[in-house]
């Protein structure tokens, strides 16, 4: 490009402001006394872009609230015993549908199980599904996106067409098909059940991240520093690993975090439909399913799991929003 | 001082970018003739300035010389080795001899790498150049050579100003001790007072390390200052080639004359009398270059011959340097508007 | 010393007792996380009808911010006008309510920018965008507006204007787009035109065409032209007077010949010595050492002092040196301007 970096029009103003804010490095030390060497410019302590983003995040209320919530939820998923001493599987039919009381803060569900305990224990399934699905989606989608974006040409052609095919499959319908094809019984171990749901969601959800990664990579690929690496004789592996990937990650991370909430929602929906997680796995979706028909008579059975579900999804979305603001270079 | 050894020899370099239609099955419908037959020699210690306006192909030429693009046809030889025949390890070794400094100080450095890593990357890619223990001291040395504080080796690019980043880019270019450095508009994006610093730096480095430069720019004053020889490019071809004095004092090609007369001189004295050649119209598109001489559609000297016969870049009778114009002559009065 | 004492150069003084546009002690600050940046720190200049004032400086000196404050298009926040006034034909437009301010914009005072591609709306034809000026300000119909648009496109020398009036911005070259932007800005025959780096993104041959066009239009319409740029060549060609800015202040104001041949401020002098010339080949360029200061942390005393070859202790103490009149037509902000003037080669 043979044009200067200043841009005009409305970006004029942006750039004018950036001129002031950009130059952390342009401090001038006062001239040294006679005979001393030229004053050196002080550029401040080393501070990477990630550190800058972290500084921004720490001050963002959305981030603080969201991350506190998420932390609580993760602890809840890992150590539910910290929150309740009641065994969620110890169900006494006599207590069926009892409203909240001092013994059971959230009341009892249809089977006579403590709703509070089941809600706490249900966090694990949701969090696990959310985290595993997001990880799987990032790996699959990320890989395909990088390959498509970096190599271009016919490789991109094929990868993008595959992406289009999967994109066309509706998430819920596809998951239903996959999960009904491989049903679980009450004997199936918990992790396998969760694994199947993760697989179904990941198989249908990777396309979003693939496309984001692809466009991010295409943008980064044309930057001068990538050309400089090629000019030095760097291999494609090095270029992708050191230059393209770290600089393409930001939008991917943001979308992944926001999607995490969406995957938890999706799991709940599948469980509500009876094909996601199955008893004896404890999940909010299952609880909502069981409680749905009794919503008018015993609303507490529905209310608490549903509330926890909403708060969890909300917390991840808040986190994702905060991270997006912190990583957005235009807002710097 | 430039010697007579040729370090880089370029012959009839051509790069056409195909224009295609269709999604699955692509059909070529034309080509952008970005570079269309460029030849020159670069001598050791010399600075060859390549000057031209946007669309003339100078950026594509830079990419071709760096083997970041492969030519449609033509040859280039670096110290006698064919640049485009080399592959794999041989190409990698050849790359050590020719490096590049980019225009934009903000996109030429990886924002997520420290300055030390950026300048040290050449050593990672070519481990035979520097033993592992030596690398940090070499990087610090390079920082010092370009006028930066070696203690800043762990800072990130965004913590530096534009001029300083450009110096970092130059340090990276020097790391492998190349013999040729392609400078692609290295000072165009810098402030005036910083430009002078970087231009001086490039000059000093050339003397210290016996470098040869190809200095690509659109700013004629900067090119004059730093170059020994100058080539003027228009629509993918070199239309005039000579040493700095010949080109600037005795231009013979109408485009060169127009270009020189358009440059505003920073001196208000006599500005009313200044004879400015103002070219009509826009430069034609490199997809459909005019037949014959590419400049004839905007040239006040053009005749029928010009639209039929393409003039070669040769030394013409009565002129001491190469010019691609049928009517090349020094000091023909051009109409001013 | 009032700013109006720096009299206009060649040109009409006219019936008014002060020039057409008077910027008086303008102050603009930017409130950022890193601190308050005094982007414009007491800037005063004037332009009269038919005159060209060049505001010369490098990036970050505040020249564009000043222009945006004059036009009233400053991004607030983070920019805030904290002092001064801008008088157009006697009226302080800086402190007018926005509704009234809008009537001035385009009609009395217009601005063109560096990158015409991003200043023009890509989804409307150029004819429509030019016609809009007449629709909004003069109440003309679309049809009449388009007729005027063709007239204007002819005026700015766009070939085949009648055919091209329905083309979109991206169908024009950079130089042509710049002319279209000029056409839009002079549509209502403003009294003042501010050109912010109008040719920086253009090739030199196109630059010559556009600058010539601007000069011709200025003559025809008797406009005051404020040319904001860092290009010393362009300034030498068209300016009558120059105001040199550094770190938010004007450091020198003088007629063009004086600035180039007898600079009085070390920064001006340094700039002139650091540019390569197309008409002569020099050896080493003089380079002003150091970098422009961060505007959140300007050095005490004179903001140029760390880079100045003439700096003494008095330059580092107290406030910045005031812009002092040294003749009828010149002012400079340097305690040692006599040394600078004396040491001419």
Look up the CATH number of the domain holding residue C326: 3.40.50.300
Task: Decide if C111 is inside a domain.
Answer: no
Task: Decide if C181 is inside a domain.
Answer: no
Q: How many domains does chain C have?
A: 1
- Express each pLDDT in A148-159 by its tens digit: 999 988 999 999
Cβ of C260 within 8 Å of Cβ of B267? The answer is: yes
Q: Which H/E stretch holds residue C80?
A: strand C79-88
Within chain B, residue ranges assigned H as helices are 58-65, 88-95, 115-125, 135-145, 162-174, 192-209, 220-226, 244-249, 254-262, 304-308
Q: Which of B71, B142, B134, B176 is nearest to A231 (CA)?
A: B176
B78-92, B276-290, C31-45: range with highest mean pLDDT: B78-92
Name the pLDDT band for A189 (thresholds 50, 70, 90): confident
- Express each pLDDT in A104-162 by its tens digit: 788 888 888 888 888 888 888 888 899 999 999 999 999 999 999 999 889 999 999 99
Which sequence spans correspond to the domains of chain A?
A: 49-331
Name the pLDDT band for A179 (thresholds 50, 70, 90): confident
Cβ of A41 within 8 Å of Cβ of C114? The answer is: no
Task: Decide if C123 is inside a domain.
Answer: no
Domain hosting C334: range is 3-48+57-97+224-342
**What ipTM was assigned to the predicted interfaces of this complex?**
0.88
Name the pLDDT band for B204 (thresholds 50, 70, 90): very high
Decide which of C303 and C77 is more confident. Answer: C303
Least confident of A185-194, A295-304, B57-66, B139-148: A185-194
Amino acid A24: pLDDT: 31
Name the pLDDT band for C11 (thresholds 50, 70, 90): very low
Secondary structure of residue B144 in the 3-state scheme: helix
Decide which of A230 and C287 is more confident. Answer: A230
> In A144-228, at which residue ranges do the beta strands (DSSP E only) sit?
none
Amino acid A329: pLDDT: 59
| Res. C297: pLDDT tops 50 | yes
Distance of residue C234 Cα from the nearest chain A Cα, in angstroms:
17
Cβ of C291 within 8 Å of Cβ of A41? The answer is: yes
Average pLDDT of chain A, as a whole number: 80
Q: Mean of the pLDDT values across residues C245-268?
A: 93
| Res. A303: pLDDT tops 50 | yes
Q: From 1.10.3720.10, 3.40.50.300, 1.10.8.60, 3.40.50.1370, which CATH number describes the A49-331 domain?
A: 1.10.3720.10
| Res. C326: pLDDT tops 80 | yes
Cβ of A8 within 8 Å of Cβ of C201? The answer is: yes
Q: Does B20 touch chain A (CB under 8 A)?
A: no
Q: Mean of the pLDDT values across residues B165-189?
A: 94
Q: Is the whole-model pTM more than 0.95?
A: no
Amino acid C125: pLDDT: 92
Name the pLDDT band for A20 (thresholds 50, 70, 90): very low
**Cβ–Cβ contacts within 10 Å for residue A331, how many?**
9
Name the pLDDT band for C16 (thresholds 50, 70, 90): low
- Angle among Cα A46, A51, A52 to the nearest 5 degrees reads 95
- Express each pLDDT in B295-327 by its tens digit: 998 888 888 999 999 999 999 888 899 999 998
Cβ of A9 within 8 Å of Cβ of C113? The answer is: yes
Decide which of C194 and B277 is more confident. Answer: C194
Name the pLDDT band for C278 (thresholds 50, 70, 90): confident
Q: Mean of the pLDDT values across residues C23-45?
A: 89
Residue in chain B lying closest to A223 (CA): B107
A interface with B, Cβ–Cβ < 8 A, is: 1-5, 22-26, 40-41, 43-44, 46-50, 157, 223-225, 227-234, 238, 242-243, 246-247
CA A48 and chain centroid, separation? 23
The CA distances from residue A264 to A131, A181, A280, A284, C39, in Å, are 9, 22, 19, 10, 49
Task: Decide if C321 is inside a domain.
Answer: yes
Name the pLDDT band for B97 (thresholds 50, 70, 90): very high
Q: Mean of the pLDDT values across residues C260-277?
A: 91
Amino acid B24: pLDDT: 65
Task: Decide if C150 is inside a domain.
Answer: no
Average pLDDT of chain B, as a whole number: 90
Instruction: Provide the edge-to-edge strand list for the sheet that holds B73-78.
Output: B27-43, B6-21, B73-78, B81-82
CB A53 within 8 A of CB A63: no
Amino acid A23: pLDDT: 34
Q: Give the best residue of B146, B267, B273, B274 to mutate against chain C (max C CB count within 10 A).
A: B267
Decide which of C76 and C302 is more confident. Answer: C302
């Amino acid at each position: 490009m043979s044009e200067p970096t200043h841009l005009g029009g409305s970006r004029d103003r942006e750039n004018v402001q950036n001129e002031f804010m950009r130059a952390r490095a342009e401090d001038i030390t006062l001239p040294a006394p006679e005979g001393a060497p030229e004053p050196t410019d002080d550029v401040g302590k080393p501070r990477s872009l990630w550190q800058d983003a972290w500084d921004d995040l720490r001050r963002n209320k959305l981030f603080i609230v969201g991350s506190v919530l998420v932390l609580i939820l993760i602890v809840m998923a890992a150590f539910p015993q910290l929150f309740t001493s009641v065994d969620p599987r110890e169900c006494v039919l006599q207590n069926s549908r009892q409203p909240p009381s001092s013994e059971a803060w959230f009341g009892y569900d249809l089977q006579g199980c403590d709703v509070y305990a089941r809600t706490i224990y249900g966090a694990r399934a949701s969090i696990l599904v959310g985290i595993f699905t997001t990880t799987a989606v990032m790996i699959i989608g990320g890989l395909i996106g990088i390959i498509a974006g970096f190599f271009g040409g016919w490789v991109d052609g094929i990868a993008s067409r595959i992406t289009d095919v999967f994109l066309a499959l509706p998430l819920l319908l596809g998951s239903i098909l996959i999960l009904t094809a491989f049903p679980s019984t009450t004997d199936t171990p918990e992790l396998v059940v969760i694994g199947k749901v993760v697989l179904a969601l990941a198989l249908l959800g990777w396309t979003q991240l693939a496309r984001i990664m692809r466009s991010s990579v295409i943008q980064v690929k044309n930057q001068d520093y990538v050309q400089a690496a090629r000019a030095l004789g760097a291999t494609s592996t090095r270029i992708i690993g050191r230059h393209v990937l770290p600089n393409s990650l930001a939008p991917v991370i943001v979308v992944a975090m926001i999607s995490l909430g969406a995957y938890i929602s999706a799991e709940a929906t599948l469980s509500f439909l009876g094909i996601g997680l199955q008893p004896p796995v404890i999940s909010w979706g299952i609880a909502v399913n069981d409680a749905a028909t009794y919503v008018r008579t015993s609303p507490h059975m529905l209310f608490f799991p549903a509330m926890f579900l909403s708060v969890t999804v909300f917390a991840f979305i808040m986190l994702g929003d905060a991270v997006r603001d912190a990583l957005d270079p235009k807002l710097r | 001082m430039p010697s007579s050894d040729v370090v880089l020899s370029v012959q009839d370099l051509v790069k056409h970018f195909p224009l295609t239609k269709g999604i699955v099955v692509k059909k070529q419908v034309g080509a952008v003739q970005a570079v269309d037959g460029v030849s020159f020699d670069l001598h050791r210690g010399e600075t060859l300035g390549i000057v031209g306006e946007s669309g003339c192909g100078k950026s594509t030429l830079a990419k071709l010389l760096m083997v970041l693009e492969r030519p449609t046809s033509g040859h280039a030889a670096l110290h006698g080795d064919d640049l485009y025949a080399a592959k794999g390890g041989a190409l990698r070794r050849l790359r050590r001899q020719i490096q590049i400094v980019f225009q934009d100080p903000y996109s030429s450095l990886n924002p997520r790498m420290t300055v030390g890593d950026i300048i040290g990357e050449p050593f990672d890619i070519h481990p035979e150049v520097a033993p592992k223990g030596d690398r940090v001291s070499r990087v610090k040395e390079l920082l010092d050579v370009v006028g930066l504080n070696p203690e800043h080796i762990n800072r990130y690019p965004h913590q530096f100003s534009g001029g300083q980043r450009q110096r970092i880019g130059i340090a990276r270019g020097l790391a492998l001790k190349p013999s040729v450095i392609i400078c692609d508009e290295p000072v165009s994006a810098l402030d005036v007072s910083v430009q002078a610093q970087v231009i001086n730096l490039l000059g000093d480095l050339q003397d210290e390390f016996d470098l040869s430069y190809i200095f690509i720019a659109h700013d004629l004053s900067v090119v004059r200052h730093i170059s020994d020889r100058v080539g003027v490019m228009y629509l993918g071809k070199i239309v005039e080639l000579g040493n700095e004095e010949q080109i600037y004092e005795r231009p013979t090609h109408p485009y060169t004359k127009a270009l020189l007369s358009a440059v505003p001189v920073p001196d208000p004295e006599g500005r009313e009398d200044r004879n400015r050649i103002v070219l009509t119209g826009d430069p034609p598109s490199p997809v459909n270059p005019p037949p014959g001489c590419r400049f004839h559609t905007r040239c006040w000297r053009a005749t029928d011959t010009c639209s039929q016969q393409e003039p070669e870049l040769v030394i013409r009778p009565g002129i001491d340097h190469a010019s691609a114009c049928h009517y090349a002559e020094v000091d023909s009065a051009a109409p001013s508007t | 010393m009032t700013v109006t004492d720096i009299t206009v150069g060649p040109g009409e003084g006219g019936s008014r007792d002060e020039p057409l546009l008077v910027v008086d002690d303008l102050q603009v600050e930017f409130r950022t996380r890193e601190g308050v940046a005094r982007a414009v720190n007491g800037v005063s200049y004037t332009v009269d009808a038919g005159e060209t004032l060049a505001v010369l400086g490098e990036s970050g000196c505040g020249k564009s911010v000043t222009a945006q404050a004059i036009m009233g298009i400053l991004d607030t926040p983070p920019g805030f006008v904290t002092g001064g006034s801008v008088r157009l034909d006697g009226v302080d437009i800086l402190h007018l309510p926005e509704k009234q301010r809008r009537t001035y914009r385009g009609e009395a005072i217009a601005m063109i920018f560096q990158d015409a591609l991003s200043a023009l709306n890509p989804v409307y034809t150029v004819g429509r965008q030019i016609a809009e000026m007449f629709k909004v300000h003069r109440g003309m119909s679309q049809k009449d507006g388009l007729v005027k648009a063709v007239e204007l496109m002819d005026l700015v020398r766009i070939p085949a204007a009648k055919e091209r009036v329905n083309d979109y911005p991206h169908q024009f070259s950079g130089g042509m787009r710049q002319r279209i932007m000029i056409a839009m800005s002079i549509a209502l025959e403003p009294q003042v035109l501010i050109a912010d780096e109008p040719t920086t993104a253009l090739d030199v041959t196109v630059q010559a065409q556009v600058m010539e066009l601007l000069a011709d239009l200025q003559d025809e319409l008797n406009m005051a032209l404020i040319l904001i740029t860092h290009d010393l060549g362009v300034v030498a060609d068209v300016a009558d007077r120059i105001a040199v800015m550094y770190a938010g202040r004007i450091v020198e104001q003088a007629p063009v010949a004086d600035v180039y041949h007898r600079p009085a401020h070390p920064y001006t002098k340094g700039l002139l010595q650091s540019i390569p010339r197309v008409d002569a080949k020099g050896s080493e360029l003089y380079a002003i050492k150091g970098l422009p200061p961060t505007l959140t942390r300007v050095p005490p005393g004179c903001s140029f002092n760390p880079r100045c070859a003439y700096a003494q202790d008095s330059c580092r103490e107290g406030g910045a040196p005031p812009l002092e009149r040294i003749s009828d037509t010149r002012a400079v902000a340097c305690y040692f301007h006599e040394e600078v003037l004396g040491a001419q080669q």
